[in-house]
Amino acid sequence: MEAVFAVVVGLFFSAAIYLMLSRYSIRIMLGVAILGNAVNLLLFTAGRVTPEVPPIIQQGASGLDNAAANPLPQALILTAIVISFSFFAFLLVLIYRAYQDLKTDNTGEMKLAEPDERPLPPLGY
Amino acid sequence: MAGPTDTAFDLSDALVAAPIPMAHWLVILPVALCIGLGALLLMLRNRTQWHAAIAIPGLVLLVVIDAALLYRVVSDGAVTMVMGRWLPPFGIAFSVDIFGALMALTAAIAALAASVHSLGEITVSSRRYGFFPFLMLLLAGVSGAFLTGDVFNLYVWFEVLLISSFGLLILGSEPEQIDGALKYAVLNLIATTLFLVSVGYLYAVFGTLNMADIAMKARAGDSAPLMTLTGLFLLAFGMKAAAFPVNFWLPASYHTPRITVSALFAGLLTKVGVYALIRVLVMLLPVERAGLGPLVTVIAVATMLVGVAGALGTNDIRRMLGYIVISGIGTMLAGVAVGNAEGLGGAIFYALHSMVLMTALYLVAGQAARLGGGFSLTVLGGLYRRSGWFAGLSLVLFFAISGLPPFSGFWPKVLLVKAALATGAWWLAATILATGFLTAIVFGRVFLLAYWRPAAADAMAAEPIGWQTALPLLGLAMLVVGFGLFPEWLLHLTQAAAAGLEQPSAYLQSVFPAAGGVQ
């Protein structure tokens, strides 16, 4: 099961990196969204994938069965989903605002903060 | 949740049975205070006239609490508090050693200085966009990152400080800020995501997220593929700290926001990356850090040189300071590259010095622009004539950043050069010294052009320097001079902090008292 997940995680990462290498901010955003999901899936796989044994201590036993599912990665993923969702929402607004103000979604043309022609400091006076 | 049959379980195996001592609450108090005040200020968002009156006493209180925490950690050793009384490694632990307490205290001092400066600079409309709430939440994230003892929790605090920094960065919503913020936001988000990936792998390898637990298990000699993992951590934290070759977001964004915000960022944010790097690489994975030592050395050298070269070729003094922040990060990484207690002590001392000094230097840049009519070295001039004491104070700070005695930049560089020479890395030592020399040229030129050169004939009339700028500048400069003249106390503390990182038995003991701090 883990092997299948590992391949899927790899595919997610490659798609995310490919999209984030683009010049266009909307594609970068899509890459960020996929990257977040790739990480979530990775966390899920990291905590071993076991089918259908709920993490409940059986009557009479003093601890969990070894085959039981691991509940911790799900707590981690839940945290990560909330965080990446809120960041994604913020970034979407930010790039829309950037598109309105800078009149472009091409990051190669966003040169307001770092203009191409920057004078060197004077050599003396 | 006992069932109807009521099997009696001995909960003392899983829960802290004894009541938590009052002193342990001190560990969580800085974070609780910042989040509480941030929430309160958000509720009062329509009454901006009250914000400063709540936030600044709150920050003074934060400094006092952090100082008390440092005092306690120095006198009694590392302190740990677990959330919900679950025993570590199950509960999320907040563990403070001297390193974390020192960083938290210095961050609080830098933030207090910046918040006083904001009284003169942050306008009512910027306050309505939430300057003070974001400031408090940023500090919650920074303090949490310095105090936590859990790797996943560290990630959460990184995100808290990141989202608050976004809010601060676009305060004012000028197109230039939007441009800078876009690059800052995307690259930092990728860095924290990489950090999360590393945390996921760390959990897969060790099955735990508690730092002390990981430190013990990593030292026990697990043969897991830790080297790759450490490389991933190095990339993630290097990106947060703006180390070469992932430093480009910093000069693209740090000069766009208000000066107060720039000062705050320069003082706090990159240092959190350095802190996490030292914590994870030195304390958790020391064997792998030693293996990656040559790589860290190359990164440190390149970061120092790239930073100072960028500063030499930049006309805008805010952007120039951004490059100086980068070269400072390189100097701290030099200590990590050396890796023994002396080098780490130098790196920690340099980090504390840099937090105070970079905040002060950005405030100087803001005041210079107000007196001289712009941030560009082509237009600035006549500052010495405008205000003699301001010129003198700037010169003190310029000497300090160049690492000249008798100011606080001198001692950490002595330690670092000594440690580098002792391990035979003469070219690392040479780079530290050459960087100091080039930094002196950078700031000598600033002083020559902006302070000594006569002002242009059409220069506007200078307004007097407000107390909102003078007070924090004087306070920070006093720290710089004070720790330059009397460094023994801080040297002793930073050496103890470094020794605690190298031999974390006291830290482990505070988390697992029963284990007796085994290694």
**What's the pLDDT score for residue B12?**
67
- CB contact under 8 Å between B189 and A79, yes or no, is no
> Please, what is the average pLDDT of chain B?
88
Q: Which of B134-143, B219-228, B349-358, B492-501 has the lowest mean pLDDT?
A: B219-228
Instruction: Give which of B35, B33, B29, B151 is closest to B88, Cα–Cα.
Output: B151
Residue of A nearest to B163 (CA): A87
**What's the pLDDT score for residue B515?**
53
The C-alpha atoms of residue B111 and residue B106 are separated, in whole angstroms, by 9
Instruction: Name residue B150's beta-bridge partners.
Output: B210
Q: What's the whole-number mean pLDDT along residues A95-123?
A: 85
Facing A42 at nearest CB: one of B156, B200, B381: B200
- CB contact under 8 Å between A121 and B445, yes or no, is yes
Chain A environment of B378 (Cβ under 8 Å): 119, 121-122
Q: Is the pLDDT of residue A119 over 80?
A: yes
Facing B185 at nearest CB: one of A46, A47, A91: A91
- CB contact under 8 Å between A119 and B193, yes or no, is no
> Is the separation of the CB atoms in B276 and B268 below 8 Å?
no
Chain B environment of A66 (Cβ under 8 Å): none
Is A122 part of the contact surface with chain B (CB cutoff 8 Å)?
yes
- CB contact under 8 Å between A112 and B175, yes or no, is yes
How close does chain B come to A61, measured CA to CA in Å?
Answer: 10
* Backbone φ and ψ of B512, nearest 5°: -120, 80
The C-alpha atoms of residue A92 and residue B189 are separated, in whole angstroms, by 13
Chain A environment of B180 (Cβ under 8 Å): 113
Q: What's the whole-number mean pLDDT along residues B193-200?
A: 93
How close does chain A come to B11, measured CA to CA in Å?
Answer: 11
Asked casually if ipTM beats, i.e. exceeds, 0.95, the reply is no
pLDDT confidence band for B13 (50 / 70 / 90): low
Chain B environment of A120 (Cβ under 8 Å): 313, 315
Chain B environment of A32 (Cβ under 8 Å): 186, 189-190
Q: What's the whole-number mean pLDDT along residues A34-46?
A: 91
> How many beta-carbon pairs below 8 A join chains A and B?
113
What are the tens digits of pLDDT across the range B209-226?
899 888 888 888 765 688
Cα-Cα-Cα-Cα dihedral of A43, A46, A50, A54, to 10°? -60
- CB contact under 8 Å between A101 and B152, yes or no, is no
Span A2-50+70-109 CATH architecture? Orthogonal Bundle (1.10)
Mutate to test the interface with B, among A17, A105, A110, A116 (most CBs of B within 10 A): A110
- CB contact under 8 Å between B190 and A35, yes or no, is yes
**What's the pLDDT score for residue A48?**
77
Chain A environment of B253 (Cβ under 8 Å): 113
Separation in Å, CA B216 to CA A116, B206, B224, B339, B506: 51, 10, 14, 19, 12
The C-alpha atoms of residue B506 and residue B160 are separated, in whole angstroms, by 29
% of chain A with per-residue pLDDT over 70: 99
- CB contact under 8 Å between A97 and B173, yes or no, is yes
- CB contact under 8 Å between B197 and A118, yes or no, is no
Chain B environment of A101 (Cβ under 8 Å): 175, 178
- Among all chains, which residue has been given the structure tokens 């637990």? B213
% of chain B with per-residue pLDDT over 90: 54
Between B2 and B297, where is the model more confident? Answer: B297
**Please, which residues have CB within 8 angstroms of residue B289's CB and are 6 or more apart in sequence?**
B230, B281, B282, B296, B336, B339
Pairing of strands B79-82, B93-96: antiparallel
What are the tens digits of pLDDT across the range B115-154?
999 988 877 777 888 889 999 999 999 999 999 999 999 9
**What's the pLDDT score for residue B9?**
57
How close does chain B come to A46, measured CA to CA in Å?
Answer: 5
Highest mean pLDDT among A45-49, B310-314, B451-455, B507-511: B310-314
Amino acid at A87: F
What are the tens digits of pLDDT across the range B74-87?
988 888 888 888 88
> Please, what is the average pLDDT of chain A?
87
% of chain B with per-residue pLDDT over 70: 94
Q: What's the whole-number mean pLDDT along residues A14-38?
A: 93
What are the tens digits of pLDDT across the range B375-406?
888 888 888 888 889 999 999 999 999 998 88
**What's the pLDDT score for residue B510?**
84
The C-alpha atoms of residue A12 and residue A9 are separated, in whole angstroms, by 5
**What's the pLDDT score for residue B217?**
85
Separation in Å, CA B343 to CA B283, B425, B436, B467, B482: 14, 12, 17, 39, 22
Facing A113 at nearest CB: one of B152, B159, B176: B176
**What's the pLDDT score for residue B11?**
65
**What's the pLDDT score for residue B361?**
95
How close does chain A come to B203, measured CA to CA in Å?
Answer: 7
The C-alpha atoms of residue B295 and residue B337 are separated, in whole angstroms, by 8
- CB contact under 8 Å between A113 and B173, yes or no, is no
Q: Which two structure tokens, joined as six digits, stand for B253?
A: 């964004």
Q: Is the pLDDT of residue B518 over 60?
A: no
Q: What's the whole-number mean pLDDT along residues B324-333?
A: 94
Q: Where are the domains of chain A?
A: 2-50+70-109
- CB contact under 8 Å between B190 and A20, yes or no, is yes
Q: What's the whole-number mean pLDDT along residues A43-71?
A: 78
- CB contact under 8 Å between B203 and A91, yes or no, is no
**What's the pLDDT score for residue B8?**
55
The 3-state secondary structure of chain A, one letter per residue: CHHHHHHHHHHHHHHHHHHHCCCEHHHHHHHHHHHHHHHHHHHHHHCCCCCCCCCCCCCCCCCCCCCCCCCHHHHHHHHHHHHHHHHHHHHHHHHHHHHHHHCCCEHHHCCCCCCCCCCCCCCCC
Q: Is the pLDDT of residue B31 over 60?
A: yes
Q: Is the pLDDT of residue B251 over 60?
A: yes
